[in-house]
Amino acid sequence: MTARTVLQQADIARALTRISHEILESNRGTDELVILGIPTRGVVLARRIAENIQRIEPAAVHSPADIVGALDVTMYRDDLSRHPTRTPQPTSLPGPIDGKTVVLVDDVLFSGRTIRAALDAVSDLGRPRAVRLAVLVDRGHRELPIRADFVGKNLPSAASERIFVRLDEVDGEESVTIDEPHENQEAGA
């Protein structure tokens, strides 16, 4: 495969800072705000966004743990029969979500199926006032009518290409790359 780097560490940091400001502006602060990352990299990104929000509005957020959590969607996916399941990770909430604005965070928005699963999981946990979506990369090719509210980078791509987000906390490096398969290789999601 031929890989092309489209975001480096500084680009990712800038995108997350911008998303953090946009979330604060959209929500008019941190009141009634819950940020839920979708494992694995979405949780890392959600924590970084919460840390940014704490730096931007230190009086409003005592600790990122006050507003950030993790939402495992493994058992809500509609493709369990086709893809082996990964080990479910525990869902952790910073508190009840009823009446709050929940911002779901994921690394790449592609078909929309992960987010549909996340919406189902959220509805089992409570009734938020609103649910928003923040993604580092929106690559297009939606199969469901889902759109991100906060996007780090719109990255139109061919369906045959793969987008890889690598984060220090998970991968020991920081980048977003597009991998283009050779002619006789099949592409994955």
β-strand partners of 178: 4, 163
Is 84 part of a structural domain of the chain? no
Q: What percent of the chain has pLDDT over 70?
A: 92
Is 189 part of a structural domain of the chain? no
Is 185 part of a structural domain of the chain? no
Is 102 part of a structural domain of the chain? yes
Model pTM? 0.91
Q: Which tens digit of pLDDT belongs to each residue from 131-159?
A: 999 999 999 999 999 999 999 999 999 98
Distances (CA, A) of 134 to 115, 131, 155, 176: 11, 10, 15, 16
CATH code: domain of residue 40:
3.40.50.2020
In the predicted model, is pLDDT for residue 36 greater than 90? yes
Is 148 part of a structural domain of the chain? yes
Q: Which tens digit of pLDDT belongs to each residue from 58-86?
A: 988 889 999 999 999 988 988 766 766 66
Distances (CA, A) of 129 to 34, 49, 122, 133, 157: 11, 20, 12, 14, 33
Indicate the number of domains in the chain.
1
Is 60 part of a structural domain of the chain? yes
Tell me what the pLDDT averaged over the chain comes to: 92
* Distance (Å, whole) CA 175 – CA 63: 27
**Residue 130 is part of which domain span?**
2-79+89-180
pLDDT recorded at residue 93: 96
pLDDT (average), residues 88-115: 95
pLDDT (average), residues 24-38: 96
Is 30 part of a structural domain of the chain? yes
pLDDT recorded at residue 2: 81
Contact 185, 15 (CB under 8 A): no
Is 186 part of a structural domain of the chain? no
Higher pLDDT, residue 83 or 173: 173
